[in-house]
Structure 1
Amino acid sequence: MDLPNHIKNIDNKSEKTVYVAMSGGVDSSTSAALLKQAGFHVVGCFMSVWQPPFLDCSMEAERQDAMDVAAQLGIDFRTVDLVEEYKNRVVDYMVSAYKSGRTPNPDVICNGQIKFGAFYEWAGNQGDMDYIATGHYARLRRETQNSKFKIKNSHLLQGVDEHKDQTYFLYRIGQKQLQDTLFPIGHLQKEEVRTLADELDVLVADKPDSQGLCFLGEVDMKDFLSQFIDLKSGNVCNEDGEVIGTHEGAEVYTIGQRRGFEVTKKEPSSGPWYVIDKNIQNNTITLTENNSPDGPVYNGKEITLTDTNWITSQPTAGRYKARIRYNQPLEKCKLKVKSQTPNQFGSGHEARVIFDKPLRAVASGQSCVVYDSEVCLGGGIIQELNSE
């Protein structure tokens, strides 16, 4: 199986050291196997992160799988202690966002702050790192600037498998990290990765894909947040402000949610009901039965982004496509970015995205990621939205 061009074009592979983030799953294990087969000096790395003491977690089993694959491949193996970094940068951020009424995406923060943040920094401090690699379904296109193929820019491209493309989670990566990163399987379909893993006799070839939060797996968000937030029951209101039921703590609900609350005042033909607003200060949520495209659930016509990150350069105002959640179809939009920029990539300041049609259930705190054809340009955190 051919490697992607950004790996194939690397000279003197046997002299290059690649630190591979290995989770114990088939994607990262196959990535390590491919790089080893290509001749790189590969070091398998398992990230040890904070685990909630109130939940049963499978980290040790995942670590054992990663270690077994490394032994099978005959590569060095390291366990990287990122417990403090994960708790401070991901968990605390997530809890703080929910407390303030926002809906964060911890997988976005995890990739930016942990895999391509703390792990990248750790690998760089080992003294022999040429690249890091992960099993993400994403691709790279290198832009060179002279005959010696010195990298000028690295463009982040969608994975070939549109159902597994993970560029939404990677939009906060910096240019420096991308230039030092390899994505060995982003040019493949998931089924091809499974077949390849089987052909390479990778130990975890048949292991099911992981689900849920980055590193933590399946988590009941209400149960998780209740360990950090004093959740209190409150009133559920309709669009007229009339109290029609109760909820279990306004912080745990997100826009568009249709379960987890009780509506006691309703007609026999009522429902389903959808969350369209929440007031953290008053501990209330507001519901509607109107789920039509011109109703209040479709609230995302214009959105303002803050804390933007543009991977290669600040895009010019114009027509693009964007999504506000993972695996959502890309939607046509206009993009406007403030002219004042804090760094060479135009990141950090506000941007405005105007969709051709309102999107459903947009919530502040989510990420909006912008694309120009197959290229992921970057994006930002949703701060404000307007349905008009």
Structure 2
Amino acid sequence: MMKSQIKTIYVAMSGGVDSSVAAALLKKQGYDVVGVFMKPWSPVIETRDKRQETSFCLWRQDREDAMRAAAVLGIPLLTWDFSREYKKEVGDYMIREYKAGRTPNPDVMCNKEIKFGLFLKMALKEGADFIATGHYIKIKKSKIKNQNNKSKFKNIYRLFKAKYLNKDQSYFLWTLTQKQLKHCLFPIGRYTKPEVRKMAKKFGLSNHDKKDSQGVCFIGQLDMKEFLKKYIKSRAGKIIDLAGKQVGTHDGASYYTIGQRHGLNIGNGQGPYFVTGKDIKKNIIYVSNKATSDKRQATSMIVKKVNWVGERPKLSVKLEVKIRYRSESIPVIISLRNSAYQLTSLPAYQLKSVTPGQSAVFYRGEEMLGGGIIQ
């Protein structure tokens, strides 16, 4: 590769094995690689015994791991302080949504506003040709007919599920646009997690056996309810089953999400119970047990703020939708309803635990087409 042809790639390095191997693969291919660690928001939370306040975000350790990986690979590592932006675009958004009775997906918002928003913008400004991340997803460039000029073709970037479906992260990347994707690389999308760990060991990376991160990055191992209590005041309320009978009490409807089964503390021996609905104004949680769990299902739902990664599919065609990260894809028909999309499941299929605020992500086979927010 001629020096003048060498592309500069800024890699988002979190300190984990995936982003470290992404950087290693690009370096091996001859690119000019620059690692960037993004410092997240690190809220200070009062501990359970109320004796001290502490941060549950382990960004310092993660940064040290990223520095070690960069040193082994012989690449520079920059630290960009995005803590203010993390708080505003991800933390504050998440708190607002919970207060309103919805269940947000902070990973989606982090990808949209931070990794493929602020980070991409700053990297390009600093001279990068591309950015790369350790996401498990595949990207392909295709040529399609330009509808505005029938005789010409145009490039379009398409996103597909990762080779390793157990780690596929396409669900969290539905907000990406063509303008962003032309500058994005996903080096590990064609590998399995065991293959990535094996490569990390060969590259001499000490984080080859580091555990995968769990939960929201700026909360760490702290329980979501404990985090929310710092920002949303506790308020005792009733837990009511679908027969209208009170079966327990709770300390704030905003703390619970549709489909939740843990932490309800209903001890009547008729469980397990699931959250089926919430009334934020009345501060009531509605639940059902196994005998009535079919009432948690729906045959249609409304999705707003839809983004199509590439070409918008035709209406009234069959697509698949995922309404939670680990849920199965359900075949649906999409149609327009005012400024939103209505999704109707096919006969013999039902949408389970439809949760306002969560992401509905559309697929056609292995291709991720886009997504939106469940209303």
TM over 0.5: yes
Partner residue in 1 for 2:283? 283
For residues 179-258 of structure 1, the aligned pairs below 5 Å read: 179-258=182-261
- Correspondence 1:30 to 2:43: no
Stretch of structure 1 that moved more, 211-220 or 246-255? 211-220
SS class of match (1:262): coil
Q: What displacement does 1:101 show?
A: 0.5
Query: Which of 304, 310, 314 does residue 316 from structure 1 map onto?
Result: 314
Q: Which amino acid aligns with 2:21?
A: T
Alignment partner of 1:350 is 2:353: no
CA contact (8 A) 1:142 1:151 kept: no
1:351 maps to amino acid: Y
**Aligned-partner SS, 2:113:** helix
Distance of 1:189 and 1:287 partners within structure 2: 39
Q: What's 1:360 paired with? A: 352
Q: Secondary structure at the match of 2:321?
A: strand
Q: Which residue of 1 aligns with 2:36?
A: 45
Equivalents in 1 of 2:326, 2:259: separation in Å?
Answer: 17
Structure 1 residue 125, shift from structure 2 partner: 1.6
Q: Deviations over 1:164-188 (max 9, x none)?
A: 1000000011111111000001011
Match of 2:299, SS state, is strand
| 1:115 aligned residue | 115
Unaligned ranges ≥5, structure 1: 1-9, 341-348, 384-388
Pairwise CA distance, 1:375: 0.9
1:243 positional shift: 2.3
1:328 matched residue in structure 2 = 327
**Counterpart contact for 1:290–1:296, Cα < 8 Å:** no
Moved over 4 A (4+): 10-14
Task: Give me the whole-angstrom Cα distance separating, in 1, the residues matched to 2:266 and 2:219.
Answer: 32
Partner of 2:149: none
Give the 3-state SS of the residue equivalent to 2:207 in structure 1: coil
Deviation at 1:214, TM superposition (A): 3.7
Query: TM-score, normalization: structure 1?
Result: 0.87
The answer for the alignment partner of 1:65 in structure 2 is 65
Map of 1:250-269 to 2, 5 A cutoff?
A: 250-263=253-266, 266=268, 269=269
Q: CA deviation at 1:260?
A: 1.9
The answer as to whether partners of 2:57 and 2:217 remain within 8 angstroms in 1 is no
Residues 245 and 262, structure 1, Cα contact 8 Å, conserved in 2: yes
Question: Do 1:23 and 1:62's aligned partners in 2 also have CA atoms closer than 8 Å?
Answer: yes
Q: In terms of mean alpha carbon deviation, does 366-375 or 203-212 score higher?
A: 203-212
**Contact 1:14–1:40 (Cα < 8 Å) also in 2:** no
Q: 1:19 aligned to 2:10?
A: yes
Is the 8 Å Cα contact of residues 163 and 327 (structure 1) preserved in structure 2?
no
Shift of 1:292: 5.8
Asked if the contact 1:301/1:358 (under 8 Å) is kept, the reply is: yes
Residue 296 of structure 1, CA deviation:
1.3
In structure 2, what residue type is equivalent to 1:113? E
Contact 1:323 1:331 in 2 (8 A): yes
- CA distance in 1: counterparts of 2:325 and 2:217, whole angstroms: 13
Q: 1:34 to 1:56 in 2, by over 3 A?
A: same
Alpha-carbon separation, structure 1, partners of 2:239 and 2:101: 16
> Shift of the alpha carbon at 1:291?
5.2
Is 1:382 matched up with 2:347? no
Counterpart contact for 1:19–1:44, Cα < 8 Å: yes
Contact (CA 8 Å) 2:103, 2:355: kept in 1 or not? yes
Aligned residue pair count: 356
Q: Secondary structure at the match of 1:153?
A: strand
Query: Structure 1 residues 215 and 38 mapped into 2: Cα distance closer, same or farther (>3 Å)?
Result: farther
Higher mean C-alpha deviation, range 358-367 or range 211-220: 211-220
How far is 1:215 from its partner? 4.8
Report the CA distance shift for 1:216/1:19 in structure 2 as closer, same or farther (over 3 A).
farther
**Residues 145 and 76 of structure 1, relative CA distance in 2, 3 Å threshold:** farther
Q: Does 1:142 align with 2:160?
A: no
Name the counterpart of 2:303.
305
Aligned residue for 1:163, secondary structure, equals: helix
In terms of mean alpha carbon deviation, does 301-310 or 254-263 score higher? 254-263
Residue 167 of structure 2 corresponds to residue 164 of structure 1: yes
TM-superposition CA deviations, 1:121-163 (whole Å, max 9, x none)? 111221x1100000000001102479xxx97211011101111
Report the alpha carbon displacement of residue 13 of structure 1 after superposing the two structures with TM.
8.9
CA contact (8 A) 2:72 2:204 kept: no
Partner of 1:100: 100
Measured at CA, do residues 120 and 291 of structure 1 come closer, stay the same or move farther in structure 2, by a change above 3 Å? farther
CA shift for structure 1 position 329: 1.9
Checking the alignment, whether the CA contact within 8 Å between 1:151 and 1:179 is kept in structure 2 is no
Give CA deviations for 1:291-317 in whole Å, capped at 9, x if unaligned.
566x2122x321110111111121112
